[in-house]
């Protein structure tokens, strides 16, 4: 692509999301599961039929909708993801991520100014402070939707080889910790799949409260093998002993990464395995572009938390884990590093 074409494409890039956000917030997609005319959707949503027709045409140009004989319908691959009530709905996830990841030009200029307005900064940053438990409480529906729609099947595939080995051992029950779990989705899948597993799901108290409210949706047998561990992982006892510790996109919040990993090692049985899934920035924190761009707004708001390439790998080695290995993965949520490490036998 020529440089001028690239620049013109970037001018158009925000339009994709703006159209989607408008349609999601107005719940337009909920009326597009069958082929219908714009006038019908306008009636249901009380919107202007002519302008709505323009929005639907633009969404059809992106392939989100099909238009045939003046009737619009959500393309099949988007139907569950963009419907408000579907179990695999991404709506809460998308709207939350847009708030977290996007930043207006005015806001960027304001933050770049030599003397930003202190009052505005304080209010904005308190809402976007990733170290504040209230932020994670408001992010709870987002994480649930992200896990159900996008990450869970993928993450299960990463854990399965280790879980299968543990399940095949003759010694019976085995224990796993999910540190900074975010939702019960992964726990629920693992508990159903592995009847000898007891899983401890750890998160901040507010997040655990949100999770607890949904637990009656799990089969009774899974509920009896699930422990909820509420608290800041920097401060609380982490339970144990575990055969497997899983932590994904949560180790940013360690006040002392080596100290936390050392404590996790002590909570593993001899030969037990720690699995970490986090990004690894490289080229002087300019790549991968997916994370550098997606985390630009959080970083500008004071949350520049991303790990560097092999940072967790090095920390695991420093605190005495063995067989530390890192694999680079292209995941549905961007390039990530899966790091595995073992407590000595």
By the criterion CB under 6 A, which residues form the site for ligand SAM?
136, 143, 151, 180-182, 203-204, 207, 232-234, 248-250, 253
Residue nearer to ligand SAM on the CB measure, 52 or 181:
181
- Closest approach, Cβ 138 to ligand SAM, in A, equals 11
How far is the CA of 213 from the CAs of 151, 175, 208, 220, 229, in angstroms?
22, 23, 9, 15, 15
Give the nearest distance from C-beta 89 to ligand SAM in angstroms. Answer: 17
Residue nearest to ligand SAM (CB): 182
Q: What are phi and psi of 160, to 5 degrees?
A: -50, -45
Cβ 244 to ligand SAM shortest distance, Å: 14
* Token pair in block for residue 244: 């497997």
Q: Using DSSP bridges, classify how beta strands 71-74 and 36-37 pair: parallel, antiparallel or unpaired.
A: antiparallel
Closest approach of ligand SAM to the CB of residue 211, in Å: 9
Specify the residue, 33 or 95, whose C-beta has the smaller distance to ligand SAM. Answer: 95
Residue bearing tokens 């693992």: 190
- The nearer residue to ligand SAM, 151 or 267, going by C-beta atoms, is 151
CB closer to ligand SAM, 276 vs 309 = 276
CB 273 within 8 A of CB 162: yes
The tokens describing 278, both together, are: 């986090």
For the bound state, the minimum distance from the C-beta of residue 195 to ligand SAM, rounded and expressed in Å, comes to 24
Token representation of residue 72 = 């619009």
In angstroms, the CA 322 to CA 340 distance is 9
Rounded distance between C-alpha atoms, residue 76 and residue 73, angstroms: 9
In the bound complex, what is the minimum distance in angstroms from residue 310's beta carbon to ligand SAM?
A: 19
Closer of 74 and 297 to ligand SAM (Cβ) = 297
End-to-end CA distance of the chain: 54
User: Closer CB to ligand SAM, residue 259 or residue 271?
Assistant: 259
- Contact predicate 176/190, CB 8 Å: yes
């Amino acid at each position: 692509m020529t440089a001028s074409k690239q620049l013109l494409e970037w001018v158009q890039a925000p339009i994709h999301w703006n159209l989607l956000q408008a349609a999601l917030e107005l719940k337009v997609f909920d009326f597009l599961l069958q082929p219908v005319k714009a006038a019908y959707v306008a009636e249901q949503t009380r919107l202007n039929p002519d302008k709505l027709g323009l929005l639907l045409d633009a969404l059809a140009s992106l392939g989100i909708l099909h238009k045939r004989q003046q009737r619009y319908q959500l393309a099949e691959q988007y139907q569950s993801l963009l419907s408000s009530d579907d179990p695999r709905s991404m709506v809460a996830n998308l709207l939350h991520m847009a708030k977290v990841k996007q930043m207006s030009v005015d806001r960027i200029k304001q933050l770049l100014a030599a003397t930003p307005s202190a009052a505005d900064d304080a209010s904005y940053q308190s809402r976007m402070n990733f170290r504040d438990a209230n932020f994670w409480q408001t992010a709870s529906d987002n994480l649930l939707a992200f896990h159900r729609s996008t990450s869970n099947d993928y993450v299960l595939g990463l854990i399965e080889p280790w879980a299968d080995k543990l399940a095949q051992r003759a010694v019976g029950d085995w224990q796993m910790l999910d540190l900074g779990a975010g939702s019960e989705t992964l726990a629920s899948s693992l508990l159903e799949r592995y009847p000898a597993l007891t899983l401890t799901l750890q998160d901040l108290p507010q997040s655990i409260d949100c999770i607890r409210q949904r637990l009656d949706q799990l089969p009774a047998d899974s509920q009896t093998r699930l422990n909820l561990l509420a608290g800041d992982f920097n401060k609380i006892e982490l339970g144990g002993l575990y055969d497997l510790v899983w932590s994904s996109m949560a180790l940013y919040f360690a006040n002392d990464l080596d100290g936390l990993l050392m404590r996790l090692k002590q909570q593993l049985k001899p030969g037990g395995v720690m699995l970490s899934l986090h990004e690894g920035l490289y080229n002087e924190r300019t790549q991968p572009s997916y994370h550098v761009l997606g985390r630009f707004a959080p970083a500008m708001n004071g949350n520049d938390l991303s790990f560097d390439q092999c940072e967790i790998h090095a920390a695991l080695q420093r605190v005495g884990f063995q067989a530390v290995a890192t694999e680079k993965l292209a995941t549905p949520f961007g390039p990530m590093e899966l790091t595995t490490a073992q407590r000595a036998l």
